[in-house]
Amino acid sequence: MASVASFDVSTGADLQEVDNAVNQATKEVAQRYDFKGSKASIAFDRANATLTKLIKRGVPVKNLELGAITPAANDTVRREIKLTQGIPQEKAKAIVKAIKDRKFKKAQASIQGDEIRVQAPSKDELQEVIGFLRAQDFGLELRFGNYRG
């Protein structure tokens, strides 16, 4: 029986890099002259998981969901930004459907929690699937890992 090669498709960000980017942006806000006397602040809640600082640190910006700007106390505003960790179920179904609709010869995709496992008897076919997924825009930064041959 021929062995089956596979890889996992996932998404997410290194939370330590997000924390570092927020700390760097907070320091910059505190030190910049044009922010002196203003009530600007940045907070990171690791449980609920700066754009330029995030980009410099390699955090996938496509995984950020920008909330609405809401008024806060003392003439300030607040915006909540959520960081997507793991592929949401609807997007996972769309990715699997796209792989099946493309009709690769023997590639099979299955949803496993917040990841997608793609299997095929040929490593070349897996490379084709990776190229296909990179060319598509699912609104998430996709990562390809756990490659087994």
Span 28-48, pLDDT tens digits:
878 888 777 777 777 766 544
Residue 146 vs residue 149, higher pLDDT: 146
Among positive and negative, which fits the CA dihedral 53, 57, 61, 64?
A: negative
Neighbours of 63 (CB within 10 A): 19
CATH architecture of 15-83: 2-Layer Sandwich (3.30)
Q: What is the CATH number of domain 5-12+87-148?
A: 3.30.70.860
* Entry pTM: 0.66
| 5-12+87-148 and 15-83 agree in CATH topology | yes
Q: Has residue 51 got a pLDDT over 70?
A: no
Tokens standing for residue 72: 């806060």
Mean pLDDT of 124-135: 92
Distance CA 108, CA 85 (A): 24
Residue 34 vs residue 109, higher pLDDT: 109
Instruction: Give residue for tokens 């995030």.
Output: 54
pLDDT-derived band at 95, boundaries 50, 70, 90: very high
Neighbours of 19 (CB within 10 A): 13
Give the domain ranges of the chain: 5-12+87-148, 15-83
